[in-house]
């Protein structure tokens, strides 16, 4: 069947259908779905900047806007309240190709937006003076534009040529305009009066403007004036221009001094999102200007009167904001007067953070655009909503984005085009992802003894893209084109469209994701597997006992063993359990149900590990409950007086592996370990931590294992299906890079609790342990990714082992783990047939059932680079780039890895600039709409602890983070690299919603507020020094700022609305993340604040990382070098 097929003629899922023979779930749930989704085009998020286009291409132009009024051209003023500019990203750029040839890829979302006009590149260098951007309404327009009337408003008269002046009274201006290297200045996107402004070369005549309503989708950004060092904080102005610190609300950001008659904080320019009191003046580079003066003695502003009611642009969204959005702090207001003569050039200004792309704005826009409608997967190559958007998925033939996300949904037809763009083609696959309750789990299909129907040649599994021919007797493989006979039991007639008449009754023909029950041929040694086992292995050395850890683990296990994973309808779990304790020797326990007391057996010959008992080691929890409880009571007492400080490690894994071998089953080891294993034994390690290696060529050795012993051990574990989960409690260097090898290669998880203290860390540890024991896991798993002809999987990232080039092997794969796959061309692709991926995962369920889980995804292919850039997913791209870089540090110096990342991203953006964007001056930075956050996110990766550690980051921390990130999904890397920052004081205590997030920068924080920052591993609650006493009392139960304790690991439970709201927010965030986040209270100006500031990723970092503004300027320089 073809992928883009017309509306299905069969019944939709929600209607009664013939029952599924052999499926273990009820028929498809949900409301009746339309056969074809509303829109074929996956919108990409983000505000649509007003951006320039040369003379419009001939051919079809955008339909008139939904409001019925044609959009005004730039420069036309609009009646108040008329929001034209849509921040819903219509990414259909006619980038250099005729409009008629470019299929629209975005839904025509509600509001129209406006293109600007392109500045003609000029030979003048930056000799003109400028006092701020010329807003849209005062641009010097070409005669054509100046006389144009749109709607009933006329364009205002242009100012005298040659100079840009301060903003006119009618426009709440936005910060300064910058030329990156001189040729052609750029005005940031002021959200002036409705028209989205043009990108203007100040004082220069404009090129012929495009027609109104022509779709565009590129962003032009200002960059820094050359030759001036950017100052660390925003808008290079001195402290004198701050508003009074009495708590007055901030006026909007202004590029020039207020003009005569311009009220600074009046209602006409109300900024709904002021921060209640400004941050303290930070020291800024650049000249220290005098106090702002009331006016500018120079040519008068344009004559049209002020028009109230236009909102100022916020948050670096390029254009109008949806309406008052609370809590977004604006940048600092009011720049100073530079003297009354228009002659001398102004002092250098920095790029204003509010004029560059804001992650917060993009996330908000995507939520409001795409959060309300379900994402229906029936159409090929749709870009899904962002990971930060809550949306429902309706599977109609392609796998849900919860299972697979791609870096691009429209891939180049040729390898030359792919090389030219440098956009990596990769998929982040999470085969066992947890679905929300409203979505149906994959159906389990049982084809009996014959097993799933597959292609004879490439062995792809039956899926919706297979084409049935010859009346249904054969099918043609969509991956390799081979024709295969349909087995007699599977035969079905075709309808008049060539589809099988049982299309809707078979998940494998109508859905993107489903499961097959595997036959014995898919099992090891051709016999069905036994249910898996869990073995708990507890370090009982001096540190573990003294810290209270051993007692804590034993107490918790008593209740936790009732929550072992089980199949949906089973009364009890089929998983058996065993127990081992160890220090320099190992102790095995016989907990057979017939015993009155557990028996302990000691193995002191750790060099030649064996399991001293078979019967009674792995037992059913319910049968042996009394013996197990007795054992867990005795262990803390038995080792209470231990003096043994040394531990072994490798023999512990070997013991677990041998036990699983003897029981002929797969399983998981839960190892609780505290120190570097220095006792004489296989896998003994030495302390090799050396900070002096940082920034040298030998730094990579810190990430590599000390010995190959653990790699070989991992290989044996994978062969047996023995997955290792590691809980580490170090007080000093432990060598995570080596100890983590087995965990990493078996598909396990590492948890690390440095300087573990019972009172502060037990909640986090116990929550992690509970989740880890209860989560869904597939054992003894093998995954293979098949692709249609033209591309193939060439590289893999994640926690797994590979013994050949195609099979990803994992002793265990849980619902949080992802495998990232990179694809390369090995032939040409065609636009008609697109490209297909099929991920097949063979695994054993927790009940011992062998299953195949299949995910299918169809992508579009393109011959135009513009189509590639219009369908990329930046979050997935960053996930891939981070993993690529984090693997790179194993073999290359960190600086080389960082430079390679910057270079690749510069090439991606330069290729876009060269081939897709309309011509414009080199002084402008132009970003593709759906990659406009690439620079800010890339900078976060570059500044991360692995690639640029501060002095306080330990070698173990870096190795730990490196391993964590390698199997993170896209939502996790998104919040890990760009943390979520919420103003708690702005939370509505009566609603369930979270307060609107703000950007990760210190200048967005107010001394009078409390903020929460989360990154998936930690939650910080930052308390400003001027927070009202009542709030402190309500949240912390103490009467003043000085009494707040840093030692709190949970917020006190107090009976008041604010306390309840904040605790519910924390609980909501904890549930969303795969790990329990550590809560850290940070008081402003306290020593912990340095740690907190490390996560304000838009600012300069202490370890030398660039601020977002500086990095954007650096990227622009790199792009220009590539283009020249």
Residue range 473-501: average pLDDT?
Answer: 96
Residue range 998-1019: average pLDDT?
Answer: 97
* Res 182 pLDDT > 70: no
C-beta separation of 616 from 675 below 8 A:
no
Please report which confidence band the pLDDT of residue 203 belongs to, taking 50, 70 and 90 as the band edges. very low
Residue range 913-927: average pLDDT?
Answer: 91
C-beta separation of 1092 from 1078 below 8 A:
no
Identify the pLDDT of residue 253. Answer: 41
Identify the pLDDT of residue 269. Answer: 36
pLDDT tens per residue across span 21-62: 444 444 444 444 444 444 343 333 444 444 444 444 444 444
Listed in sequence order, the residues at least 6 apart from 146 whose beta carbon sits closer than 8 Å to its beta carbon are 75, 155, 157, 158
Distance CA 476, CA 1027 (A): 69
* Res 494 pLDDT > 90: yes
The count of other CB atoms within 10 Å of the CB of residue 343 is 8
Identify the pLDDT of residue 486. Answer: 97
Residue range 1046-1060: average pLDDT?
Answer: 95
Coil, helix or strand for 517? Answer: strand
More confident residue, 95 or 440: 440
Q: How many helices (H) and strands (E) does the chain have?
A: 21, 31
Burial class (CB in 10 A: 0-12, 13-18, 19+), 521: exposed
Identify the pLDDT of residue 874. Answer: 98
Encoding tokens for residue 495?
């309808």
Encoding tokens for residue 492?
């079905």
Burial class (CB in 10 A: 0-12, 13-18, 19+), 432: buried
Identify the pLDDT of residue 329. Answer: 42
* Res 576 pLDDT > 60: yes
Distance CA 1100, CA 1004 (A): 14
Identify the pLDDT of residue 345. Answer: 56
Residue range 504-523: average pLDDT?
Answer: 96
Residue range 949-957: average pLDDT?
Answer: 91
Please report which confidence band the pLDDT of residue 294 belongs to, taking 50, 70 and 90 as the band edges. very low
pLDDT tens per residue across span 326-344: 444 443 433 444 444 445 5
**Percent of the chain residues topping a pLDDT of 90:** 66
Distance CA 615, CA 675 (A): 32
Please report which confidence band the pLDDT of residue 220 belongs to, taking 50, 70 and 90 as the band edges. low
DSSP 1052-1109: ---SSHHHHHHHHHHHHHHHHSSSPPEEEEEETTSTTHHHHHTT-TTSPPTTSPPPHH
More confident residue, 372 or 62: 372
Identify the pLDDT of residue 1103. Answer: 86
Nearest alpha-carbon partner for 859 in 839, 837, 835, 829: 835
- Residue 649 Cα to chain centre, angstroms: 35
More confident residue, 70 or 686: 686
Identify the pLDDT of residue 348. Answer: 57
pLDDT tens per residue across span 248-260: 444 444 444 444 4
pLDDT tens per residue across span 106-135: 443 433 333 344 444 434 443 344 444 433
- Tell me whether strands 410-412 and 425-429 are parallel, antiparallel or unpaired: unpaired
Nearest alpha-carbon partner for 388 in 361, 407, 414, 427: 361
More confident residue, 155 or 673: 673
Identify the pLDDT of residue 714. Answer: 98
Distance CA 54, CA 61 (A): 14
C-beta separation of 651 from 710 below 8 A:
no
Residue range 580-587: average pLDDT?
Answer: 97
pLDDT tens per residue across span 813-841: 999 999 999 999 999 999 999 999 999 99
Coil, helix or strand for 349? Answer: coil
Coil, helix or strand for 964? Answer: helix
Distance CA 1057, CA 1035 (A): 10
| pLDDT averaged over every residue in the chain | 79
Distance CA 886, CA 693 (A): 17
pLDDT tens per residue across span 621-634: 999 999 999 999 99
More confident residue, 254 or 579: 579
* Res 946 pLDDT > 50: yes
Coil, helix or strand for 620? Answer: coil
The predicted model scores a pTM of 0.73
Residue range 878-893: average pLDDT?
Answer: 97
């Amino acid at each position: 069947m073809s992928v883009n097929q017309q509306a299905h003629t069969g019944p939709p899922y929600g209607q009664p259908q013939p029952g599924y023979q052999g499926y273990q779930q009820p028929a498809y749930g949900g409301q009746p779905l339309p056969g074809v989704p509303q829109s074929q085009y996956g919108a990409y998020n983000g505000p649509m900047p007003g951006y320039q286009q040369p003379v419009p291409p001939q051919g079809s132009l955008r339909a008139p806007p939904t409001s019925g009024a044609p959009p005004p051209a730039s420069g036309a003023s609009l009646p108040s309240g008329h929001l034209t500019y849509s921040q819903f990203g219509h990414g259909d750029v006619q980038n250099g190709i005729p409009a008629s040839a470019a299929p629209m890829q975005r839904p025509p979302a509600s509001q129209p937006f406006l293109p600007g006009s392109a500045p003609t590149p000029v030979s003048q260098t930056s000799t003109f003076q400028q006092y701020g951007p010329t807003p849209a309404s005062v641009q010097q327009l070409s005669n054509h534009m100046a006389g144009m009337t749109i709607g009933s408003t006329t364009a205002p008269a242009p100012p005298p040529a040659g100079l840009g002046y301060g903003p006119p009274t009618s426009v709440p201006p936005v910060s300064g305009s910058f030329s990156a290297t001189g040729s052609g200045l750029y005005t940031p996107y002021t959200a002036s009066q409705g028209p989205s402004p043009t990108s203007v070369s100040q004082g220069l005549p404009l090129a012929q403007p495009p027609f109104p309503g022509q779709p565009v989708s590129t962003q032009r950004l200002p960059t820094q004036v050359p030759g001036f060092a950017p100052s660390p904080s925003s808008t290079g102005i001195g402290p004198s221009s701050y508003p009074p610190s009495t708590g007055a609300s901030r006026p909007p950001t202004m590029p020039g001094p207020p003009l005569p008659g311009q009220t600074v904080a009046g209602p006409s320019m109300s900024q709904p999102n002021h921060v209640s009191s400004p941050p303290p003046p930070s020291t800024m580079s650049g000249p220290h200007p005098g106090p702002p003066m009331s006016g500018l003695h120079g040519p008068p502003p344009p004559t049209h009167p002020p028009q109230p009611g236009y909102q100022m642009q916020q948050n670096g969204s390029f254009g109008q904001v949806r309406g008052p959005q609370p809590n977004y702090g604006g940048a600092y207001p009011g720049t100073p007067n530079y003297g009354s003569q228009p002659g001398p050039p102004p002092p250098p200004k920095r790029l204003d953070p509010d004029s560059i792309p804001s992650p917060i704005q993009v996330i908000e826009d995507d939520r409001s655009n795409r959060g309300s409608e379900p994402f229906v997967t029936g159409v090929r190559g749709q870009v899904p909503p962002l990971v930060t958007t809550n949306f429902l998925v309706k599977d109609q033939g392609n796998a849900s984005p919860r299972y697979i996300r791609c870096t691009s949904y429209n891939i180049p037809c040729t390898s030359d085009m792919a090389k030219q763009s440098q956009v990596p083609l990769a998929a982040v696959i999470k085969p066992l992802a947890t679905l929300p309750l409203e979505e149906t789990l994959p159906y389990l299909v049982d084809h009996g003894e014959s097993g799933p129907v597959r292609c004879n040649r490439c062995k792809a599994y039956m899926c919706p893209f297979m084409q049935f021919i010859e009346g249904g007797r054969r099918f043609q493989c969509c991956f390799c084109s081979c024709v295969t006979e349909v087995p007699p039991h599977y035969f079905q007639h075709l309808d008049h469209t060539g589809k099988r008449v049982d299309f809707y009754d078979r998940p494998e023909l109508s859905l993107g994701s489903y499961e097959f029950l595997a036959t014995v041929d898919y099992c090891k040694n051709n016999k069905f597997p036994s249910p898996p086992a869990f073995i708990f292995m507890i370090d009982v050395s001096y540190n573990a006992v003294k810290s209270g850890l051993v007692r804590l683990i034993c107490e918790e296990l008593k209740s936790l063993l009732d929550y072992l994973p089980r199949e949906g309808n089973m009364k009890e779990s089929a998983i058996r359990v065993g127990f081992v304790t160890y220090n320099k020797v190992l102790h095995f326990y016989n907990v057979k149900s017939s015993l009155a007391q557990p028996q302990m057996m000691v193995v002191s010959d750790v060099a030649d590990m064996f399991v001293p008992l078979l019967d009674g080691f792995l037992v059913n929890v319910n049968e042996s409950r009394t013996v197990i409880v007795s054992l867990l009571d005795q262990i803390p007492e038995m080792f209470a007086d231990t003096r043994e400080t040394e531990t072994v490690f490798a023999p512990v894994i070997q013991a677990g592996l041998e036990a699983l071998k003897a029981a002929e089953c797969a399983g998981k080891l839960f190892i609780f370990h505290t120190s570097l294993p220095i006792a004489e034994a296989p896998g003994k390690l030495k302390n090799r931590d050396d900070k002096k290696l940082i920034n040298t060529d030998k730094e990579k050795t810190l990430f590599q294992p000390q010995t190959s012993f653990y790699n070989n051990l991992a290989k044996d574990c994978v062969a047996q299906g023995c997955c290792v989960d590691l809980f580490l409690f170090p007080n000093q260097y432990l060598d995570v890079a080596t100890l983590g090898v087995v965990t990493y290669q078996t598909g396990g998880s590492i948890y690390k609790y440095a300087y573990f203290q019972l009172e502060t860390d037990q909640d986090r540890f116990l929550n992690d342990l509970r989740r880890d024991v209860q989560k869904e896991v597939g054992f003894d798993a093998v995954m293979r990714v098949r692709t249609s002809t033209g591309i193939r999987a060439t590289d893999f990232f994640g926690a797994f082992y590979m013994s050949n080039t195609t099979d990803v092997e994992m002793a265990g794969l849980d619902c949080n783990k992802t495998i990232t796959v990179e694809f390369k061309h090995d032939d040409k692709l065609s636009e008609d047939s697109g490209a297909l991926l099929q991920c097949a995962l063979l695994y054993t369920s927790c009940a011992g059932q062998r299953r195949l889980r299949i995910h299918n995804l169809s992508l579009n292919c393109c011959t135009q680079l513009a189509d590639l850039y219009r369908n990329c997913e930046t979050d997935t791209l960053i996930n891939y780039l981070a993993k690529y870089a984090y693997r790179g540090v194993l073999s290359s110096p960190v600086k080389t890895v960082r430079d390679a990342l910057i270079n690749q991203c510069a090439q991606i953006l330069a290729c876009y600039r060269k081939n897709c964007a309309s011509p414009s001056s080199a002084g402008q930075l132009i970003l593709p709409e759906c990659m406009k956050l690439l620079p800010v996110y890339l900078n976060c990766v570059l500044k991360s602890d692995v690639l640029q550690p501060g002095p306080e980051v330990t070698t173990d921390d870096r190795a730990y983070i490196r391993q964590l990130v390698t199997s993170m999904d896209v939502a996790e890397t998104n919040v890990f690299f760009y943390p979520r920052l919420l103003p708690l004081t702005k939370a509505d205590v009566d609603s369930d919603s979270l307060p609107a997030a703000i950007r990760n920068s210190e200048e967005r924080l107010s001394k009078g507020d409390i903020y929460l920052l989360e990154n998936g591993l930690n939650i910080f609650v930052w308390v400003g020094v001027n927070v009202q006493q009542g709030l402190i009392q309500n949240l912390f139960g103490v009467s003043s700022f000085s009494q707040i304790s840093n030692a709190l690991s949970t917020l006190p439970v107090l009976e008041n609305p604010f306390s309840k709201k904040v605790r519910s927010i924390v609980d909501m965030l904890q549930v969303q993340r795969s790990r329990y986040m550590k809560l850290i209270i940070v008081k402003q100006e306290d020593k912990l604040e340095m740690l907190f500031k490390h996560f304000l990723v838009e600012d300069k970092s202490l370890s030398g990382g660039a601020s977002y503004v500086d990095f954007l300027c650096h990227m622009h320089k790199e792009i220009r070098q590539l283009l020249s």
